A and B are shown apart, each in its own frame.
Chain A
Amino acid sequence: DTAVSQTPKYLVTQMGNDKSIKCEQNLGHDTMYWYKQDSKKFLKIMFSYNNKELIINETVPNRFSPKSPDKAHLNLHINSLELGDSAVYFCASSEGLFRADTQYFGPGTRLTVL
């Protein structure tokens, strides 16, 4: 039973295309996140949702649009892909927003923009 799952695991696409990454968690958590890991392995938060409400939007280009249809799902849609969008994107979830709530990560989606 995978706790946090993401699809697809790999995504190779051309510049200018639009793509989506899907995330689902079966932990019953209220909060979900998207993180970006760049080529130097640095991890930075992009978005967080709590009970389907956007909580954090961390200076991300508006080509990136998260959508949370329900508490268990958080999808990431990216318009007009650019070379600099190539990275690994991680979805994560936690019980809530408290400092002690551990975040559990999905396996990551490696996006390559050609």
Chain B
Amino acid sequence: AQKITQTQPGMFVQEKEAVTLDCTYDTSDPSYGLFWYKQPSSGEMIFLIYQGSYDQQNATEGRYSLNFQKARKSANLVISASQLGDSAMYFCAMRGVTSYGKLTFGQGTILTVHP
């Protein structure tokens, strides 16, 4: 079984600053993948970034990077140079090698970017 915990219900950041959204996970799977999704107020789920448990380097995608600390079971999302359009709900999710594809989601963090 997998469990994802996002302890920050809401976060605020000034435009152009960086922000870190926390995510911790628990799993007994030897191999797994970690994902972050963005859900703006319009409701769609947008894939942002992926990190594999055996990847040697932290994943980056444009302004998004994943701070993966395997020993601490954390997979924090870092957004650099925040923009107003980054205001949204952010979900951390994982799937293990025994999940049959199932994604387990955290509770989400609402990010608000102030001008």
Residues in chain A within 8 A of chain B (CB atoms)? 31, 33, 35, 40-45, 48, 50, 55-56, 58, 88, 90, 92, 94, 96-105, 107-108, 110
B: number of interface residues (CB 8 Å): 30
Q: Which residues of B contact A45 (CB under 8 A)?
A: 102-104
Q: B68 in the interface, Cβ–Cβ < 8 Å?
A: no
Which B residues are in CB contact (< 8 Å) with A40?
107
Residues of B within 8 A of A56 (CB): 100-102
**Set of chain A residues within 8 Å of B45, measured between Cβ atoms:** 90, 92, 105, 108
**Distance A43 CA – B108 CA, assembled complex (angstroms):** 9
Name B residues whose Cβ lies closer than 8 Å to a Cβ of A: 29, 31-33, 35, 37, 39, 43-47, 50, 52-53, 89, 91, 93, 95-97, 99-105, 107-108
* Contacting residues, chain A, for B95 (C-beta < 8 A): 99
A56–B102 Cα distance when bound, in Å, is 8
Query: Known pairs A42-B108, A99-B97, A104-B47. 13 more at Cβ < 8 A?
Result: A33-B103, A42-B107, A43-B91, A45-B103, A48-B100, A48-B101, A88-B43, A92-B103, A99-B29, A100-B33, A100-B52, A103-B103, A105-B46
B101 and A101 contacting across the interface, CB-CB below 8 Å: yes
Complex Cα gap A88–B89 (Å)? 15
**Contacts A/B (CB < 8 Å), 30 sampled:** A33-B101, A41-B39, A41-B89, A42-B105, A42-B107, A42-B108, A43-B91, A43-B93, A43-B103, A45-B104, A48-B101, A56-B100, A56-B101, A90-B45, A97-B100, A99-B29, A99-B31, A99-B32, A99-B33, A99-B52, A99-B97, A99-B99, A100-B33, A102-B35, A102-B47, A102-B50, A103-B47, A103-B103, A105-B44, A105-B46
